[in-house]
Structure 1
Amino acid sequence: MMRRVEELLKEKVPIGVLSNTHGLEGDMKFYFFSNVPSLATKLTEAIAYNEQLKKFVMVRFEKVRKAHEYYIVHLVGVNTVAEAEKLKGFVVYVDKSFFPKSKDGEYYFFELFGAEVYDESNVNLGIVDDIIETGSNDVLVVKKGKEEMLVPVIERYIVSIDKENKKIVIRVPEWME
């Protein structure tokens, strides 16, 4: 079962989570993961998956509107609080093709997750396990075994990012040497 889930989600990107009900008409609060807010209003169809329940559901977005730090969404066929309750906690996945192609020097987080990280001598330092948004710049969390390295995504430390081959070459920060 786990392998089927991985295969189904392989070309998908988590874009948000249906967190709670909103009102009496089946609307839901939707926390959007992307930092490109204009994409939220372009949502039409997606796969929703609940890890705990091991359950997939196809969802179609009928309405999406911004509200505070989340969105209020109405899904086709979800018209009551009881129906919306059943979708709480489902993570919404879209095809990678949903995202506009990133330009040179830009990236979506999903393009970097799992990328192999090397130093300038071609020594493998690990893989990108997470990305932290700090406000001024992103920070790559590179893991190898139990070791973890934090690398700021700034010109001083990033030599190259090959999104196609998932390979990043860095200049090792002086505090790591």
Structure 2
Amino acid sequence: MMKRVEELLKDKVALGVLSNTHGLKGDLKLHLFTNMPELVSKLTEVVAYNESQKKFAYIRIETSRKAHDYFIVHIAGVNTISEAEKLKGFVLYVDKSFFPKSKEGEYYFFELFDCEVIDENGNSVGIVEDVIETGSNDVIVVKKGKEEVLIPVIERYVTKIDKEAKKIHVKMPEWLE
């Protein structure tokens, strides 16, 4: 039975993308999507998916080292530049359990995805589709049907984040009322 992409990646989080080759011995550049570079040294087996090619691969990372704003990784069985070329563009996915448990009052973006957003009157505003980093604070992108609402994740608007129940309680910003 064939599984859909959504099923295969259900409990996984995108960690980074293999952007280019490095050298002639099959190494690749890994650009992270996370601000937790310490996780790279713990990587062993990961799921890799290339959306444009619609291809999956289970890969084992043998070595990794930091270089500038990316990592150089060596993947088992990839020993030439031509073999490495085939993995360019693959996104590496890890189990959600790979991440350390978030502390009280903190969250990983993936913990907010698919949360229902509820206003102060108990009405559903929609579902969190994305999180935008602005520098000063995060902003959740809430979608309901074709409508999209952006809500800053600050105490003034977000009153409670219940990660276990997948619910975010908000006081709607004045400009949305």
**What TM-score bracket applies, with the shorter chain setting the length?**
over 0.9
2:98 corresponds to 1:98: yes
Distance 1:67 1:144 in 2: 42
Look up the equivalent residue of 1:146 and give its one-letter code. Answer: K
Q: 1:168 to 1:2 in 2, by over 3 A?
A: farther
The structural deviation recorded for 1:38 is 1.2
Distance 2:27 2:3 in 1: 32
* CA shift digits 1:44-71 (9 cap, x unpaired): 1101011222221111111112222221
Distance 1:23 1:134 in 2: 35
- Written as runs of structure 1 = structure 2, the 5 A alignment for 1:1-177 is 3-177=3-177
**If the length of structure 1 is used for normalisation, what is the TM-score?**
0.95
* CA shift digits 1:88-147 (9 cap, x unpaired): 111111111100111110111111111111101111111111111111111111111221
Other structure's SS at 2:38 match: helix
Distance 2:122 2:40 in 1: 39
Look up the equivalent residue of 2:64 and give its one-letter code. Answer: V
Other structure's SS at 2:30 match: strand
Other structure's SS at 1:65 match: strand
Other structure's SS at 1:39 match: helix
> RMSD between aligned alpha carbons?
1.4
Percent of aligned pairs sharing the same letter: 69
Q: What number of residue pairs does the alignment pair up? A: 177
Distance 1:2 1:111 in 2: 27
Distance 1:34 1:49 in 2: 17
**If the length of structure 2 is used for normalisation, what is the TM-score?**
0.95
* CA shift digits 1:131-177 (9 cap, x unpaired): 11111111111111221111111111111111112110111111111
Q: 1:2 to 1:143 in 2, by over 3 A?
A: farther
Structure 1 residues not aligned, in runs of 5+: none
Look up the equivalent residue of 1:165 and give its one-letter code. Answer: A
Distance 2:57 2:163 in 1: 30
